[in-house]
């Protein structure tokens, strides 16, 4: 008997997105719930036997009851079974999001895999071996028990775990909650469903990270998918298909204004092959520009702020070199004299107020241009 399931993880429902203010942040919070509902619809369309959630369905054990109820409602397009593994964000502590979820839902098709015990599906023809986290960080490999787990002969064995596969993730990923890289082999698994890494990634034989179904950070890691997995029988090679589920595209863009001209910002953002209203962009601008060009860059940015879902700008590497034209534009008199002074200071490499003079010049100029524009 074959086993066909959805593998997903890292929903992080209730994630606050505190650094995205206003409606844009609220929309990102709401989308995490809507994406779960889309995933439930997909499960029904794909006629899967179960949905496996490999940890961090919730952003924390402190999410509001409202969030738990929203997630429960979002599950309803798929009758289940849903198998939830507690991860590091929603570890199975004595009082956890899971104990509250049990109180809020009486559904017997929502299975919380909070004990390291086999879960039999399809009358035992498929068995889930879970490795729940009972605290945020575990020093031992919680999947070790899979090796000796007894299942009936011929049963499809699927491991479910949350953490980092040793030696297989890019440098800089978290080293906590380590999982042996050969676990699928040593435990005779047909598939090892993993969570924690937010991108979709095959990491070893029969071992996959599904990634988060809705991207939640700026990291180029192929997130925004779920995996449809089909296994014909114990020992068969699993067929794994990634299906896109993400609504928002998170992009990092770097622009060097090497020719000192504005316009590069718009060219780079127009070149993004995404729906601009669904793009969350982190933009880094570097280079040296005149104050007039700097003013033009600010105008471009404010236009793009209104076109994108959210724009964060890092302009620490963008420097202004005022030109004679810039200074003429400000004019003579007291202000002109102050500007000359600031310019002189900003050009003295050793002057202790050099950076302050640069900032003051920029502010003066931009303010002046804005005042002119509003007249
Ligand atoms: Mn995690």
| Tens digit of each residue's pLDDT (9 = 90 or more) over 61-108 | 999 999 999 999 999 999 989 999 999 999 999 999 999 999 999 899
Mean pLDDT along residues 251-265 = 86
Q: Are residues 8 and 146 in the same domain?
A: yes
pLDDT per position as a tens digit, 309-353: 999 999 999 988 888 888 787 776 777 888 888 888 988 989 999
Asked whether the beta carbons of 49 and 5 are under 8 A apart, the reply is: yes
Cα–Cα distance measured from residue 279 to residue 346, given in angstroms and rounded to the nearest whole number: 37
Q: How many residues does the chain have?
A: 375
Q: Is the pLDDT of residue 220 over 70?
A: no
pLDDT over 90 for what percent of the chain?
76
- Please count the other Cβ atoms lying within 10 Å of the Cβ belonging to residue 26: 12
Highest mean pLDDT among 150-154, 163-167, 171-175: 150-154
Distance 212 CA to ligand 1 centre (A): 10
Distance 56 CA to ligand 1 centre (A): 6
- Burial grade of 255 (CB within 10 A; 0-12, 13-18, 19 or more): buried
Distance 78 CA to ligand 1 centre (A): 24
- Burial grade of 122 (CB within 10 A; 0-12, 13-18, 19 or more): middle
Distance 197 CA to ligand 1 centre (A): 7
Distance 282 CA to ligand 1 centre (A): 23
- For residue 349, how many C-alpha atoms fall within 13 Å in the half-sphere facing its CB? 0
Distance 120 CA to ligand 1 centre (A): 25
pLDDT at 34: 98
Phi, psi of 147 (to 5 degrees): -55, -40
Q: Are residues 197 and 50 in the same domain?
A: yes
Which structural domain, as residue segments, surrounds residue 15? Answer: 3-244
Torsion angle in degrees (nearest 10) through CA of 248, 112, 62, 131: -80
Q: Using alpha carbons only, give the angle 322, 326, 332 rounded to the nearest 5 degrees.
A: 115
Nearest to 256 by CA among 264, 247, 248: 264
Mean pLDDT along residues 154-165 = 96
Mean pLDDT along residues 240-244 = 98
Q: Are residues 253 and 238 in the same domain?
A: no
Distance 156 CA to ligand 1 centre (A): 26
Distance 46 CA to ligand 1 centre (A): 27
Distance 196 CA to ligand 1 centre (A): 4
Q: Are residues 168 and 260 in the same domain?
A: no
Distance 194 CA to ligand 1 centre (A): 10
Q: Are residues 255 and 367 in the same domain?
A: yes
pLDDT at 261: 76
Q: How many domains does the chain have?
A: 2
Task: Write down which residue in 221, 244, 267 finishes a domain.
Answer: 244
Distance 204 CA to ligand 1 centre (A): 19
Distance 61 CA to ligand 1 centre (A): 13
Distance 273 CA to ligand 1 centre (A): 29
Task: Write down which residue in 244, 275, 307 finishes a domain.
Answer: 244
Q: Are residues 30 and 176 in the same domain?
A: yes
pLDDT at 210: 98
Q: Are residues 82 and 201 in the same domain?
A: yes
Tokens (6 digits) for 118: 């086999």
Q: Are residues 104 and 217 in the same domain?
A: yes
Distance 318 CA to ligand 1 centre (A): 36
Distance 253 CA to ligand 1 centre (A): 26
Q: Are residues 199 and 257 in the same domain?
A: no
pLDDT higher at 358 or 5: 5
pLDDT per position as a tens digit, 123-158: 999 999 999 999 888 889 999 999 999 999 999 999
Distance 21 CA to ligand 1 centre (A): 24
């Amino acid at each position: 008997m074959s086993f066909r399931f959805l593998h997903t993880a890292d929903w992080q429902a209730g994630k606050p997105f505190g650094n995205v203010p206003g409606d844009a942040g609220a929309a990102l919070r709401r989308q995490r719930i809507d994406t779960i509902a889309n995933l439930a619809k997909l499960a029904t369309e794909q006629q899967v036997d179960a949905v496996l959630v490999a940890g961090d369905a919730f952003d924390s054990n402190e999410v509001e009851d409202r969030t738990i109820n929203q997630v429960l409602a979002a599950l309803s397009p798929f009758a289940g079974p849903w198998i939830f593994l507690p991860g590091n964000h929603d570890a199975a502590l004595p009082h956890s999001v899971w104990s509250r979820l049990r109180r809020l839902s009486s559904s017997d098709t929502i299975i919380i895999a909070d004990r390291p015990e086999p879960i039999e599906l399809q009358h035992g023809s498929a068995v889930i071996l879970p490795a729940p986290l009972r605290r945020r960080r575990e020093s031992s490999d919680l999947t070790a028990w899979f090796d000796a787990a007894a299942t009936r002969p011929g049963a499809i064995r699927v491991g479910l775990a949350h953490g980092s596969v040793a030696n297989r993730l890019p440098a800089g990923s978290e080293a906590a909650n380590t999982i042996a890289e050969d676990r699928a082999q040593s435990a005779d698994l047909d598939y090892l469903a993993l969570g924690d890494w937010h991108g979709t990634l095959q990491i070893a034989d029969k071992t996959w990270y599904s990634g988060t179904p809705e991207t939640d950070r700026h990291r180029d890691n192929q997130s925004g998918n779920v995996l449809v997995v089909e296994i014909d029988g114990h020992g068969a090679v699993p067929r794994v298909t990634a299906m896109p589920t993400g609504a928002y595209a998170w992009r990092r863009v770097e622009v060097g204004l090497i020719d000192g001209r504005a316009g590069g910002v718009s060219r780079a953002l127009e070149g993004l092959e995404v729906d601009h209203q669904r793009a969350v962009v982190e933009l880094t601008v570097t280079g040296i520009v005149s104050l007039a060009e700097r003013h033009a860059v600010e105008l471009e940015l404010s236009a793009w702020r209104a076109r994108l879902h959210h724009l964060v700008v890092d302009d620490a590497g963008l420097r202004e070199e005022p030109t004679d034209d810039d200074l003429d534009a400000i004019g003579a008199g007291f202000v002109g004299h102050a500007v000359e002074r600031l310019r002189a200071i900003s050009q003295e490499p050793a002057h202790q107020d050099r950076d302050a003079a640069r900032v003051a010049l920029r502010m003066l100029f931009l303010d002046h241009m804005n005042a002119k524009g509003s007249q």
